Structure 1
């Protein structure tokens, strides 16, 4: 079977290559970066564990004069399966170590759960009625989670992974996942950004994990930190490389400011569940047309926006059943115009 939708390796800098691997999608592709060293290659991210992905990785490495069996280490930006999936298989073939942030290492157990069960949990937490949960799950069937093996190395913020000849520092950039990592190459001022910031897509943030958790706030603070680095080029895991990080961060700030302000304005009309608010802020005014992963993203996004408002002292969650949200009466955040022409979260 031919490998689909992949291109020849791209030389980014001397000794640094970009390989595109296919995904079940969407998105359809993920970029794995290869760092050449005298000891052998090191990878940043690994791709999804499919036969197409494995063949594309093997073919890409062969094209630059190496093999999977020679890989020495895999630096994984976060635990999502389009980034982590092939890492254990690479380790089994080469003996390479796998590195991941501790918070995302803990997330691996979540992927063993049937995706439909995970969706049902999120919907119930948002206050969706049983009829809506049943409708959302209809036709999804019984799925199988991913039994991903644990990493070998737990990388904390500021640690320097052992990649000979490269000036790499791990940067903890939570938001898209609790333990998302970017990798900063200081000598060449390159930012290997994972899913933290993409040139077109507004990435999703993870579901809040408790009353003190503010994944959207953490994401925005992470963007500020990365902007201060002033990289010469950003190397994301999807779409394409780009140079104007400051401009892109400004677009993302405006986008999220506008979305949060819209949620606050709708909430100001009266208490509502996160499920109700998620529908009301959409142009359709309902979630009835969404199922599966898109529904999971929309509801999680609303929960994250509400948690961000709670951190600002503008909203509070009232225990149920069902749990609902109410404005605190302290005002509404100033709205910024939404960004036009950028794709929604992934």
Structure 2
């Protein structure tokens, strides 16, 4: 079937929905519907003589399954023909359909080991990450109970483990394609991008979207700095000079350097705002989360927006701790203060 021009971005018209499009000969972008503002996940179909391989799988809903099967049929193939699923990270909008594809086709499913471990914890207790986040942030107990009630009976039991683990700089077995894995932690501990040097294509999962600045995973311990890890991955990606960036949401784009500059500016501005709040006195991460919003409060936030906002505050505080600008004081509730090093610097952004 005919696709868009290979240099196109696949950006849908305002108010439109993305469609199945050809990115390069043998490489297709297949949109899978997704609840929420992002609207869809872009599954990339790599055609080979052995059968199709997928990068990411989509959210596990009947609508998503129907979109996947219909898209593959339009390419003259079937889910049963899929040979492998390379998942960029463990979030269920990317991993969700992978076990179902494997059951239908016998395909292998791959993931980074760090994300596979997180997936196993989610299978054991889907509520645990949310409860730990809110209590560490110093959320009022009533707010924690309300958030857990909102989570309901959501289950992670269907998120079966992968068959293969991929690490940094591996070359997955995809016939006819020269893929290399790039470990890009930040959004999740084991997030992977995929580099195809012959076509100069960079498949970035959620690591670099063209419009949305993605959130980071929760710090796992006192030495963990997801934001710092994320920022360190950006310049090496720019130096690769891809002709086209293929993200898992929104649309493709050509200028990775410009997008990286925008992302860095965004995080610098959020970090500077957190520094100004810390200089005023001790705060919990819950309080900082409200101050980072334009409204100055968390009032009215529920569900995912609340979790994302609180997590962002903890991520910034962990980054400032690694920079020597903030320290965590045990609670209850735990709170954060500016270090003497930060206070000595006077007004301005830290680091200078």
| 1:137/1:291 contact within 8 Å kept | no
Instruction: Say how many residue pairs are matched.
Output: 332
Question: How far apart in 2 are the matches of 1:89 and 1:295?
Answer: 30
Q: How does 1:29-108 map to 2 (within 5 A)?
A: 29-108=40-119
CA distance in 2, matches of 1:191, 1:12: 12
Deviations 1:24-64 (A, max 9, x none): 22321010001111111110000011111111111101111
Retained in 1: the 8 A contact 2:41–2:249? yes
Identify if the C-alpha distance between structure 1 residues 280 and 9 changes in structure 2 by more than 3 Å, giving closer, same or farther: closer
Shift of 1:223: 1.4
CA distance in structure 2 between the partners assigned to 1:190 and 1:286 by the alignment: 41
User: Secondary structure of the residue that 2:269 maps to in structure 1?
Assistant: helix
TM-score (normalizing by structure 1) = 0.91
Question: Is contact 2:193-2:202 (8 Å) kept?
Answer: yes
Give structure 2 stretches of 5+ with no counterpart: 1-15
Q: Is the 8 A contact 1:119 1:292 kept in 2?
A: no
Is the CA contact (8 Å cut-off) linking 1:189 and 1:233 kept in structure 2? yes
Within 5 Å, give how 1:60-209 maps onto structure 2.
60-112=71-123, 118-137=129-148, 140-209=151-220
TM-score normalised to structure 2 length: 0.90
Q: Which runs of 5+ in 1 are unaligned?
A: 337-346
Q: Determine if contact 2:150/2:303 at 8 Å carries over to the other structure.
A: no
Check if 1:221 corresponds to 2:240. Answer: no
Secondary structure of the equivalent of 1:268? helix
| Partner Cα distance (1:234, 1:99) in 2 | 21
Q: In 1, Cα distance between the equivalents of 2:157 and 2:93? A: 11
Q: Verify the 8 A CA contact 1:113 1:144 in the aligned structure 2.
A: no
- Residue of structure 1 in register with 2:300 after alignment: 289
Q: Deviations over 1:135-193 (max 9, x none)?
A: 44565544333431111110000000000111100000000000000000011110011
Query: Following superposition of structure 1 onto structure 2, how do residues 244-259 of structure 1 map, counting pairs within 5 Å?
Result: 244-259=255-270
Q: Is 2:272 the partner of 1:261?
A: yes
What displacement does 1:7 show?
Answer: 4.9
Q: Distance in 1 between matches of 2:249 and 2:255?
A: 16
CA–CA separation in structure 2 for the residues paired with 1:74 and 1:137: 32
Q: For residues 198-233 of structure 1, what are the alpha-carbon distances to aligned partners after superposition, in whole Å with 9 as ceiling and x for unaligned?
A: 000011111110001000011111112211111000
Deviations 1:250-274 (A, max 9, x none): 0000000110111011011111111
Q: Aligned equivalents of 1:174 and 1:139: distance in 2?
A: 29
Partner of 2:247: 236
Contact 2:122 2:128 in 1 (8 A): no
- Give the secondary-structure state (helix, strand or coil) at the position aligned to 2:176: coil
Matched with 1:341 is none
Counterpart Cα distance in 1 of 2:119 and 2:271: 29
**Contact 1:127 1:275 (8 Å CA) reproduced:** yes
* Deviations 1:308-339, CA, capped at 9 Å, x for gaps: 00010001111112111111121369549xxx
Mapped contact 1:47–1:86 kept (Cα < 8 A): yes
Q: Deviations over 1:80-123 (max 9, x none)?
A: 00100111111111111111100011111233366555423211
Contact 1:114 1:142 in 2 (8 A): no
Q: What CA distance in whole angstroms lies between the structure 1 residues aligned with 2:66 and 2:137? A: 41
Whole-Å separation in 2 of the counterparts to 1:45 and 1:190: 16
Which whole-Å CA distance do the structure 1 matches of 2:157 and 2:41 have between them?
A: 18
The CA distance in 2 between the partners of 1:9 and 1:140, in whole Å, is 33
Cα distance in 1 for residues equivalent to 2:125 and 2:323: 34
Instruction: Report the Cα distance in structure 2 between the residues aligned to 1:99 and 1:112, rounded to whole angstroms.
Output: 17
* RMSD, matched Cα: 1.8
Report if aligned partners of 1:9, 1:64 keep a CA contact under 8 Å in 2. no
Choose from 296, 319, 327 the match for 2:338: 327
Q: 1:68 to 1:316 in 2, by over 3 A?
A: same
